[in-house]
C-alpha cells in the first residue's frame, strides 16, 4: 500500500505443547511476539497440513507454502500474478479454496479507480490465469474483498465507498452465483460511526473484513477500524443475530469497542490492550481451506495472523510485520446499541485475540 491510502483512507482451555506444535502456533514473548516477516495484510489458510499465504509484493502477488505459520517467512515466495496490464497499486490479497480450486481476490487501481479482481488455479502456487475484474454492484471503489459461504449461499464482503468520493469506508455484502460472479445489489452492513472507531480518520474506516462462524452457527465479520497509518488501528466485530438476515444492517450487532488493539481507552470493557505490538489489524483466521464451516469450536485457541508494529518501533507502514497469534471464542458477551431498529442488546459469542 502507498501513502495515497492515508489520505483516503469459558475461556479457552490451555493448549498442550503437542497441540501447539501440531497447529504451528507461536507463543508471544517480549522479544518476538510471534513476528514472522516484514509485510502487511496477511491472508493464510491451511490445506491439509500445509499453510498457504498470499501477499502483495513486487507489483504482483506472491504465494508461500510451509508446514507451519512461522515457516512461511523462510518459504520460497512464488509470484503467481504480475501486473503486466498496469492496473496500479495492488493491495490486500485474500486466498480461499472453493470446490478444490484456489481463488485469490485483490484490489488494484490508482486512487478512486481501485476495484476488486480475482485469479484462480487448481494449484496453490502456480497455474493462475489473467486477472478478472469482479462486477460488484454499483461498481464503486472497493478493496479488501473476501469470499465465504454461509448457510449454503456464497457471499462476498468488502470495504468500499458509498459514492464516488472518499467520505468514509463502509463494509458491504453481496451474494455470489459462483466464486467469480456477483449477483444482485450490495448491502451496507457497517459504517464507522462509533466514537472508538473514529479516533483517527480522514476518512474514517471499516476495512479488512474477515468472516468466521461461531460455535452457535452465527456469522461474524471481524474487521479493522481507525486509520491503518496509526497505532490506533484495531480489530472489532460484527455479529449477525441468530436467525438474522445478512443483508439487513440492523440484524448486525457491533462490539462496543476494539477486541484487539493497543490503546486501553478504545477497548471493549473486559478486553485488554496488546503487550508487545502496536496497531494490530487486517488479520486472517487461519481456517482449513479458508472455509468458515471449519471455524473452531469453543474451548481451545486457534491460529490467526495479523499485521502490527513492534512496540518501541516508530509506527509506519514500512515497519509492519506479519505476526502469528491465536484466538478463542468468548461466550455470553453482550453487544449494546441504541437509537436504531431492533433489540438494543444481543448476547452471544465474541472473540478474544492473543499475541
| Tens digit of each residue's pLDDT (9 = 90 or more) over 113-132 | 999 999 999 999 999 999 99
Strand partners, 206: 225
103 pLDDT band, cuts 50/70/90, is very high
Does the pLDDT of residue 9 top 90, yes or no?
A: no
What's the whole-number mean pLDDT along residues 29-34? Answer: 52
Residues shown for the chain: 355
Does the pLDDT of residue 18 top 90, yes or no?
A: no
CB 205 within 8 A of CB 9: yes
CB 205 within 8 A of CB 168: yes
Query: What's residue 255's pLDDT?
Result: 98
Tell me the three state secondary structure of residue 286. coil
Query: What's residue 201's pLDDT?
Result: 87
Strand boundaries in 59-152, DSSP class E: 60-66, 78-82, 89-98, 101-109, 115-121, 132-133, 142-150
Q: What's the predicted TM-score (pTM) here?
A: 0.91
* Model pLDDT for residues 257-288, shown as the tens digit of each residue: 999 999 999 999 999 999 999 999 999 999 99
Does the pLDDT of residue 4 top 70, yes or no?
A: no
Cα-based distances in Å from 316 to 216, 274, 313: 39, 18, 9
Residue 129's Cβ-count burial label (10 Å; 0-12, 13-18, 19+) is exposed
Percent of the chain with pLDDT over 70: 91
Does the pLDDT of residue 22 top 50, yes or no?
A: no
Query: What's residue 107's pLDDT?
Result: 98
What's the whole-number mean pLDDT along residues 218-229? Answer: 97
Percent of the chain with pLDDT over 90: 89
Alpha-helical (H) ranges within the chain are 4-8, 17-23
CB 324 within 8 A of CB 26: yes
10 pLDDT band, cuts 50/70/90, is very low
Cα-based distances in Å from 180 to 93, 94, 136: 15, 14, 10
What's the whole-number mean pLDDT along residues 93-103? Answer: 98
Amino acid at each position: 500500500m502507498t501513502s495515497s491510502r492515508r489520505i483516503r483512507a469459558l475461556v479457552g482451555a490451555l493448549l498442550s505443547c503437542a497441540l501447539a506444535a501440531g497447529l504451528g502456533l507461536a507463543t508471544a514473548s517480549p522479544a518476538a511476539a510471534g513476528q514472522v516477516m516484514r509485510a502487511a495484510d496477511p491472508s493464510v489458510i491451511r490445506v491439509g497440513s500445509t499453510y498457504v499465504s498470499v501477499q502483495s509484493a513486487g507489483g504482483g502477488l506472491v504465494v508461500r507454502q510451509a508446514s507451519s505459520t512461522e515457516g512461511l517467512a523462510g518459504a520460497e515466495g512464488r509470484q503467481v500474478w504480475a501486473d503486466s496490464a498496469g492496473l496500479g497499486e495492488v493491495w490486500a490479497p485474500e486466498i480461499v479454496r472453493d470446490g478444490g480450486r484456489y481463488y485469490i481476490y485483490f484490489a488494484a487501481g490508482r486512487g478512486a479507480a481501485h476495484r476488486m479482481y480475482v485469479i484462480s488455479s487448481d494449484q496453490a502456487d502456480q497455474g493462475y490465469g489473467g486477472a478478472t475484474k469482479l462486477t460488484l454492484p454499483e461498481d464503486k471503489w472497493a478493496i479488501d474483498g473476501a469470499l465465504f459461504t454461509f448457510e449454503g449461499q456464497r457471499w462476498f464482503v468488502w470495504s468500499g465507498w458509498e459514492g464516488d468520493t472518499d467520505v468514509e469506508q463502509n463494509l458491504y455484502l453481496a451474494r455470489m452465483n459462483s466464486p467469480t460472479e456477483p449477483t444482485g445489489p450490495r448491502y451496507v452492513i457497517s459504517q464507522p460511526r462509533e466514537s472508538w472507531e473514529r479516533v483517527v480518520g480522514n476518512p474514517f474506516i471499516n476495512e479488512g473484513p474477515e468472516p468466521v462462524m461461531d460455535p452457535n452457527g452465527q456469522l461474524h465479520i471481524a474487521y479493522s477500524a481507525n486509520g491503518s497509518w496509526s497505532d490506533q488501528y484495531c480489530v472489532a466485530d460484527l455479529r449477525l443475530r441468530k436467525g438474522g438476515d445478512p443483508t439487513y444492517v440492523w440484524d448486525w450487532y457491533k462490539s462496543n469497542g476494539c477486541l484487539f488493539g493497543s490503546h486501553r481507552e478504545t477497548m471493549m470493557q473486559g478486553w485488554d490492550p496488546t503487550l508487545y505490538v502496536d496497531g494490530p489489524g487486517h488479520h486472517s483466521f487461519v481456517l482449513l481451506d479458508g472455509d468458515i464451516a471449519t471455524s473452531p469450536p469453543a474451548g481451545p485457541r486457534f491460529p490467526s495472523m495479523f499485521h502490527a508494529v513492534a512496540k518501541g518501533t516508530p509506527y509506519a507502514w514500512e515497519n509492519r510485520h506479519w505476526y502469528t497469534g491465536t484466538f478463542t471464542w468468548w461466550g455470553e458477551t453482550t453487544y449494546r446499541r441504541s437509537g436504531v431498529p431492533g433489540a438494543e442488546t444481543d448476547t452471544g459469542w465474541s472473540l478474544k485475540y492473543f499475541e
